[in-house]
Amino acid sequence: MSRHGVVVSLAAAISMSLAGLATAAVSPEEAARLGQDLTCIGAERAANADGSIPEFKGTHVGKVPGWDAPPHSGAHPVDPFADDQPILVITAANVAEHADKLTEGQQAMFKRYPDTYKINVYEGRREFAYPEVACERARWNAENAEIVDDGFGYTGLGYIPFPIPKSAMEVLWNHQLPFRAWTQDEIRDIASVTASGSIGWGRSHGRCLAPPMDPDPSLRPHTDDGVSAYCTTEVLLPLRERGNFSMNHEPYNYRTSARTAWSYNTGTRRVRLAPGYGYDQPLGGSNGLMTIDEDRLFNGAPDRYDWTLVGKQEVIIPANAYKVHSKDISYADLLTVNHPNPEFLRYELRRVWVIEANVKEGSRHLYGKRRLFIDEDTWHAVLADNYDSRGELWKHAIINYYYHPDTSAWQAGSSFFHDLNSGSYIGYTLFNERERAAILNKGEMDPSQFTPDRLRALGR
C-alpha cells in the first residue's frame, strides 16, 4: 500500500471511536481525492501549467539525504540540495517582470533596498512527505472536522483539520495545527539589527509539548482533550530580563477554553496569572520589537480580526531552507545591514493559500491588517505582510522551514521580521552559532511539567 493511502484498520478504529462528534466537512467522494490528485494533506499533486512548480514526489519520509546524525541529537541541518544553483535572480532591475509572483511586502523590500536586496530562486523540490499517521488523520478530518464557535475552535482530530479547506478559518486552523514536532527543546538567539547594522541580542530557551503530535499511531488525539500544546520559555538575554519565565497552555477552542498563561519575574520572585496573554504584547527576549502572536507569523486566538480567504496563488516563497541554518555560517556573515544576506536564502515558486485579517470594529491590535501566505505542501505560513492601523504596509516577515528527519515534518527555523519604516529587522530562532539546534521528538515531557508549581520551581 502506498504511504499516502489509508490504513483501513486504523481509519475504521478512528471512525468508530469518534463517530457522531462532528458533521462531515466534505463528501466522501471529495475526500477520496486525498492521496490521488491531491497529496494526503491536500496539496495539488500535479505540476503547474508550465512546469515551474514540479509534481509532488514525496520520495522521502523521515529521511533527508546526507543528514545522518543520531536521532534527537540537536544536530544542525545538512543541505541535501547543496549543489543546486539559482535558476533566477530577482533584483530591483527586473522585479517588475516577476511582480505577479511576489507579495506586496517582497516588492517593497526591493524598493526600500534596491542596491542590496535580491531573491535567489531555485528549482522547486517537492521530495519530502508526511508519515502515514498524518495522512490517516487528515483523511478522517476531511470528512468529519468542523469549525465551531464562529471560528474560535474546531472539533476533530488534533492536527491538519481541513485538508480540503473551504474558508479562511479552515486555512487558519490548518496553519495553527499542522503536523509538526511532538516535543521541542530549543535555545534561540534573537538579533535586533538596527538600520546602522548594530545588533541588540536576545536569547530564550523554549520547551514545548504538543500531545496530539505524539507519533504513536494507536493514539486518537481529539480536540475534546482540551489542550493542544504546552510551552515554557525562559529569557536568557537581554540581561535585564534574564531569568524571567512564561508558560502557556494552548486550547483547541479559544472561546470555551481561553489561552492560559503564567509569568515568573525575577524581581518579584512570584508566579502570576497573565490574563489576555498573547496578541500584540511584547515577545520576551525580542527587545520589545516582536509581538507574541508573531511567532510562526500568527498564533493564538483569531478573535480580534475578520478573516477573509483571498484564494490560492503561485508565489515565490522560502522553501527547503537548509543552507541558512548551517553551522558554518556565522552571524556576522548572515546578519548584514537592512536584511539578512540573500546568498544564504533559498526561494522556490510554490502554491500558497492566502488569507487576510482586518481588525474588527471595536478591537485593537498594532497591526490593522495582516496577510498570511501558507504553503500548500506543509500548511505552514511562510510569508506575512503586516499593515498599520492606517492600512499602510509596515512589516514584511519570512520563516525558513526545513524538513526534519526526527519529526518526518517541517520545522520552523530562522525568521526575519523587516520594519520597512525604520530599516531595522529582527532575526528570530537563530541557532547557527549554538552548539545544538532544536532537539525534536525525544519525548521525556508530560503535562505535569507545565504547571504553575513547576514554573515556581524553575524560577531563580
Helices 8-18 and 132-144 cross at an angle (nearest 10°) of 40
In a domain? residue 5: no
Tens-digit pLDDT profile for residues 378-424: 999 999 999 999 999 999 999 999 999 999 999 999 999 999 999 99
pLDDT category at 14 given cuts 50, 70, 90 is: very low
Cα dihedral 452, 456, 457, 460 sign: positive
Q: Please tell me the distance from the alpha carbon of residue 105 to that of residue 202, in angstroms, as a whole number.
A: 25
Segment (H or E) for 185:
strand 183-193
pLDDT category at 12 given cuts 50, 70, 90 is: very low
| pLDDT over threshold 50, residue 8 | no
Please, what's the b/e burial string for 17-30 (b: 16 or more CB within 10 A of its CB; e: otherwise)? ebeeebeebbeeee
Q: Between the CA of residue 344 and those of 17, 150, 227, 321, 429, what are the distances in Å?
A: 48, 42, 37, 9, 16
Tens-digit pLDDT profile for residues 53-94: 999 999 999 999 999 999 999 999 999 999 999 999 999 999
Q: Please tell me the distance from the alpha carbon of residue 96 to that of residue 385, in angstroms, as a whole number.
A: 19
Helix, strand, coil distribution of the chain in percent, nearest 5:
20, 30, 50
Tens-digit pLDDT profile for residues 167-185: 999 999 999 999 999 999 9
Q: Please tell me the distance from the alpha carbon of residue 403 to that of residue 234, in angstroms, as a whole number.
A: 26
| Domain CATH for 320 | 2.50.20.10
In a domain? residue 76: no
Strand pairing partners for 314?
A: 351
In a domain? residue 231: yes
Tens-digit pLDDT profile for residues 423-444: 999 999 999 999 999 999 999 9
Once rounded to an integer, what is the mean pLDDT over residues 111-132? 98
| pLDDT over threshold 60, residue 7 | no
Number of domains in the chain: 1
Are 396 and 315 contacting, i.e. CB atoms less than 8 angstroms apart? no
| pLDDT over threshold 90, residue 335 | yes
| pLDDT over threshold 50, residue 199 | yes
Q: What is the pTM of this model?
A: 0.94
Cis peptide upstream of residue 282 (ω within 30 degrees of 0): no
In a domain? residue 229: yes
Are 80 and 102 contacting, i.e. CB atoms less than 8 angstroms apart? no
Collapse the DSSP code of 418 into the 3-class scheme (helix H, G, I; strand E, B; otherwise coil) and give the result: strand
Is 150 buried (19+), middle (13-18) or exposed (0-12) by CB count in 10 A? exposed
In a domain? residue 71: no
Q: Please tell me the distance from the alpha carbon of residue 460 to that of residue 457, in angstroms, as a whole number.
A: 8
- pLDDT at position 459: 86
Q: Between the CA of residue 458 and those of 23, 189, 209, 263, 283, what are the distances in Å?
A: 44, 21, 17, 11, 20
- Average pLDDT over the chain reads 93
Are 284 and 235 contacting, i.e. CB atoms less than 8 angstroms apart? yes
For residue 181, give the C-alpha cell: 514536532
Going by C-alpha positions, the residue among 386, 454, 458 that lies closest to residue 421 is 386
- pLDDT at position 285: 77
In a domain? residue 25: no
Going by C-alpha positions, the residue among 178, 103, 176 that lies closest to residue 350 is 103
Cα dihedral 129, 145, 352, 415 sign: negative
pLDDT category at 460 given cuts 50, 70, 90 is: low
In a domain? residue 40: no
Q: What is the percentage of the chain residues whose pLDDT exceeds 70? A: 95
In a domain? residue 27: no
Going by C-alpha positions, the residue among 195, 201, 199 that lies closest to residue 419 is 195
Which domain does 200 fall in, by range?
88-458
